[in-house]
Amino acid sequence: MNDFFSTYGSLIVSMVLGSLVGLSLYLPLMTGQLSLASPGFYALGGYIAAILSTKVFISKSNLFPIHFLLLEMLIAGIISGLLGIAVGIPALRLRGIYLAIATIAFVEVLRVISLNLDITGGAVGIFGIPQPFENQIEYLWIALPLLIISMVLFYRLERIRVGRAFLAIREDELAAGAMGINPTYYKVLAFTLGSILAGMVGAISAHFLNTWNARQGTFDASIIYLTFVLIGGSRSFLGAVLGGMVFTALPEVLRNLADTGGLPDWLSHFLRDGRLIIFGLLIVIGTIFFPQGLVTPDLFKKLTKVKRS
């Protein structure tokens, strides 16, 4: 068991963090808005945690105190949320592909700013972010409760007034407006909730990865996170969770596959380094054959029916 955890601990935590990022992208999608801003808030949250833990919360003990990590997550969530409101109000006037482009631009702006500021360590980034745990697997103590709480919240959200307003806007924004729902308000709310979650996950990731730099919030990351929800399922939060887990693990699985030997050189090269190509292909194929992703609300209805009968 210990062997298993020391080999796969890092991957398991990455998968949980991946599904949380997936959820942060799923929130604006609940209102039908394709926003790719999550990596920006993720990077911002990471920088906040990295700066606070290396410059402000200096502790003498061997392990970084967990309550400081929780405090960093809180601060990262608040700042991301405030920035989310500030960015969301103008950006959500745009729709569809234009919103996607605007949010990609937002991620790029944050990336370039972080490359050029002293406090973010410029191109080098921030090193030696203190560790609150001895083993990487122990990050689950933070990441897993956050995922479970988030999933419970999402489950509830889909069954209450606010969540139904989100879905109504996704289904038909114009009709939702005619039914008395203020589309702008709820779109900004969903976008802001997503940015809070992304910021908090970033704060955990910064500690988990030990180092943080401008490569965390890039266009590549946007595409990978988009795969999480588009292929996992854009109509059910479980799709985002499963998508986040599977597609975080996929590159590792492919790398193992490449190392098994007996494969032609070009194929093992492709499996090792062609991650973005594979994800890109999956997005194209997925949107054609599974426009709502693999995990859909209908799938659950079918499964529960089978169980009952």
Partner 1 sequence: MQLSPKNTIILEAKGLTRRFGGLVAVNNVSFAVNQHEIFGLIGPNGAGKTTLFNLITALIPFSSGELIYEGKVISQLKPHQIAGLGIARTFQNIRLFGELSALDNVIIARHLHTKSNIVTGILGLPLATREEENSRQKALELLELIGLSDRTEEKAKNFAYGDQRRLEIARALALEPQILLLDEPAAGMNNNEKHQLSEFIRDLRDRLNLTIILIEHHVPLVMGLCDRIAVLHFGQLIALGEPSVVRNDPAVIEAYLGD
**Site mask, partner 1, residues 172-211, x = CB under 8 A?**
x-xxxxxxxxxx-----x----------------------
Which listed range, 61-69, 78-86, 123-131, 149-157, lies at the site for partner 1 (CB under 8 A)?
149-157
Angle at which helix 237-259 crosses helix 2-30, to 10 degrees, equals 140
Is residue 199 a contact partner of residue 45, using CB atoms and an 8 Å limit?
Answer: yes
Supply the minimum distance, in Å, between the C-beta of residue 239 and partner 1: 14
CA distance 284 to 290: 10
Q: Does residue number 165 form part of the binding site for partner 1 (CB under 8 A)?
A: yes
Q: Where are the alpha helices (DSSP H) in the chain?
A: 2-30, 38-51, 66-91, 96-116, 140-157, 161-171, 173-178, 183-209, 219-232, 237-259, 265-273, 275-289, 297-308
Supply the minimum distance, in Å, between the C-beta of residue 71 and partner 1: 22
Q: Which of 171, 220, 259, 273 binds partner 1 (CB under 8 A)?
A: 171
226-265: which residues touch partner 1 (CB under 8 A)? 235
**Site mask, partner 1, residues 13-52, x = CB under 8 A?**
----------------------------------------
Q: Does residue number 299 form part of the binding site for partner 1 (CB under 8 A)?
A: no
Supply the minimum distance, in Å, between the C-beta of residue 104 and partner 1: 27
Of 39, 36, 26, 29, the closest CA to residue 237 belongs to 26
Angle at which helix 66-91 crosses helix 38-51, to 10 degrees, equals 140
Supply the minimum distance, in Å, between the C-beta of residue 171 and partner 1: 4
Locate tokens 């906040």: which residue? 48
Which listed range, 9-17, 72-80, 114-122, 154-162, lies at the site for partner 1 (CB under 8 A)?
154-162
Q: Does residue number 167 form part of the binding site for partner 1 (CB under 8 A)?
A: yes
Sign of CA dihedral 162, 179, 85, 217: positive
The string over 147-163, giving b where at least 16 C-beta atoms fall within 10 Å of a residue's C-beta and e elsewhere, is: beebbeebeebbeeeeb
Q: Does residue number 163 form part of the binding site for partner 1 (CB under 8 A)?
A: yes
Q: Does residue number 157 form part of the binding site for partner 1 (CB under 8 A)?
A: yes
| Contacting residues toward partner 1, per CB under 8 A | 153, 156-157, 159-165, 167-168, 171-172, 174-183, 189, 235, 297
